[in-house]
Structure 1
């Protein structure tokens, strides 16, 4: 079980906040996203294209930088809705929380990381990882759990067959690789594309493709909030579904142009190539429904990583009512 931060810390987390869709008569909804990532493109499209505003919602977007901090903010009412991996809701349930955290709208449906190799010579095979130094991600987080799951699917023991480094902070993994540490690294976009452009190596495999569909990033809220604000949650889900449909029906270049204000330090061609890569492997969910099969695969991955005390009840932690209503256009 992953321990959550003390609820008293929520006040001093130092959030990065963006106000969007402000309107005097709108209802305010505070979103906390676990990180700023173009992996969450539909969220930014919903803001920039005015889909939240059309639903009468005034969205305040905060980047909460980490699963524990995001869940702390949600549980202490620092935010209303969290965008974070579904595993966090399971961790809270395992701790015996009294106010259940409910997954109500899925945003991404695959892992978002890629296996990046320093050497670009010859065809890639998974056996090449044996005996190498591999920069992984934080223990207990979805990237690391998926990474280990995929390695095991290819008959590689991540703790015996290679030197797995997972004591480096998320923000420092890419710089560590760039400075010469490791032969392989697990990277999100746009870092993978940027490193390719800089000649540091190449993407040789996709953990998202290898692991299959999982509820990787989902909008969730406390049961008490949902019960008191059902109309708000429905409007929120309607806007997300509209954005998901927009992204799947527009080119990577069009999506890149819309979300560019959120990634001012990234070149447009890198934004486009990264979005294209995610679209091609189906990372952006085309609708907000979290399917039970995906939920079960998530738990298989968590169980394999030794992070699951007991199976979490899909019907307890997932509510697809709002997603289905949004898709029906009601």
Structure 2
């Protein structure tokens, strides 16, 4: 687990947020809990770029927050940390809110970061003659960021959609950085379900053949039939209720980040992220950003259509959720995003 602490300064309001839109409690009040601990699973992934931008551009600082970021091996680990109380908030997959609500735990998203998963399923290049589609992955070893993570979920759903069982491929956790690239290059795994910049590097170096790509709306609709919310900011509802100003300021920072990403060039982004994120190839990283830019949320909102798409995936994939009755409103609280919007 990597641990990064960012010392943050004075408070500020969301860029462009008018007095009429900002909830009265967040107008001039100080954050109730300015020192926050945030969990994430694989921070260097472009899936979590809005978090890195909020950190590097000082948006947390502008909102009066002191954020300590714990980077876990995968999204399921950061969820466990939230449930266990070792982090206050998580940037992680939207589907976790549905799962936890079904278990009676009131965890809700307060800002959408990604409207498409951005996940790519690919096979080792020397297997492309044998593995021509997801349907040919039966019996293969497939690397994911971590078992139980969104990369594993999408792989299992794709297997089902292609006439296989969710367990027909062996799922192996390989992380989301250089270790994932090495696992593919060494032949430790036959295929991969992962994100940029890992996928972009493997593509650039000719190591993989892409079978399924959800970095774009077209690829996402091909698999899911609609949008499919990906990375979100989620927390326990009791935290938001006890710390409404803090929660608003946190969402303000992420909305600033989404706005900045929407206007930034790939070069701007490459200049902003830590050098190690570039994996030794700046041009390659910029291409990865270009490939993934469409997936970031333009407005921070999880739509009802997106919820329906994700609920359909979970009902199909998880027998425990086949008859789940979780209201859309329990999984996403829009008021903080609505207040931060221009």
**TM-score normalised by L of structure 2:** 0.78
1:277-316 equivalences in 2 (<5 Å): 277-279=291-293, 282-309=294-321, 310-316=324-330
Call closer, same or farther: CA 1:293–1:79 in 2, change over 3 Å: same
For residues 195 and 103 of structure 1, do their structure 2 counterparts lie closer, same or farther at Cα, with a shift above 3 Å needed? same
After TM superposition, give the deviation of residue 302 of structure 1 in Å. Answer: 1.1
What is the aligned length? 305
| Deviation of the 1:103 alpha carbon | 0.8
Question: Does the 8 Å contact 1:83/1:220 carry over to 2?
Answer: yes
Pair 1:170–1:231, CA change in 2 (3 A) = same
Mapped to 2, the partners of 1:189 and 1:239 lie a distance apart of 23
Please name the residue that 1:107 is paired with: 113
CA distance in 2, matches of 1:259, 1:182: 29
For normalisation by structure 1, the TM-score amounts to 0.81
1:81 maps to 2:73 = no
1:80-138 Cα shifts (integer Å, max 9, x gaps): 111111222233223333xx11211111121222122334879x963773667361545
1:97-136 correspondence runs (5 A) = 97=105, 100-119=106-125, 126=133, 129=136, 133=140, 135=142
Closer/same/farther in 2, CA of residues 215 and 159 from structure 1, 3 Å limit: closer
Q: What is the aligned partner in structure 2 of residue 10 from structure 1?
A: none
Return the offset for 1:140: 4.2
Q: How far 1:305 sits from its partner (Å)?
A: 1.0
Kindly state the Cα deviation for residue 307 of structure 1 after the two structures are TM-superposed.
5.0
For residue 227 of structure 1, report the CA deviation from its aligned partner: 0.7
CA distance in 2, matches of 1:41, 1:130: 30
- 1:67 alignment counterpart: 75
Answer yes or no: is 1:34 the counterpart of 2:46: no
Match of 1:92 among 97, 100, 122: 100
Residue in structure 2 matching 1:219, options 203, 227, 233: 233
In structure 1, the gaps of 5 or more residues are 1-14
**2:25 matches 1:19:** no
Q: 1:323 to 1:147 in 2, by over 3 A?
A: same
**Of 139, 145, 152, the match for 2:153:** 145
Identify which range, 172-181 or 81-90, moves more after superposition: 172-181
Query: Alignment partner of 1:108: what SS?
Result: coil
Whether 1:165 aligns to 2:166 is no
Q: Distance in 2 between matches of 1:58 and 1:261?
A: 23
Residue matched to 1:188:
195
- What is the RMSD computed on CA atoms of the aligned residues? 2.8
| Equivalent residue number for residue 268 of structure 1 | 282
| SS of aligned partner of 1:102 | strand
| Structure 1 CA distance for aligned equivalents of residues 72 and 188 of structure 2 | 28
Question: Which structure 2 residue ranges, 5 or more long, are not aligned?
Answer: 12-30
What is the DSSP-based 3-state SS (H/G/I as helix, E as strand, rest coil) of the residue aligned with 1:116?
A: strand
What SS does structure 1 have at the residue aligned with 2:110? strand
Contact 1:132 1:184 in 2 (8 A): no
Contact 2:8 2:64 in 1 (8 A): no
- After TM superposition, give the deviation of residue 177 of structure 1 in Å: 3.1
Q: Does the aligned pair in 1 maintain the 2:39–2:90 contact within 8 Å?
A: yes
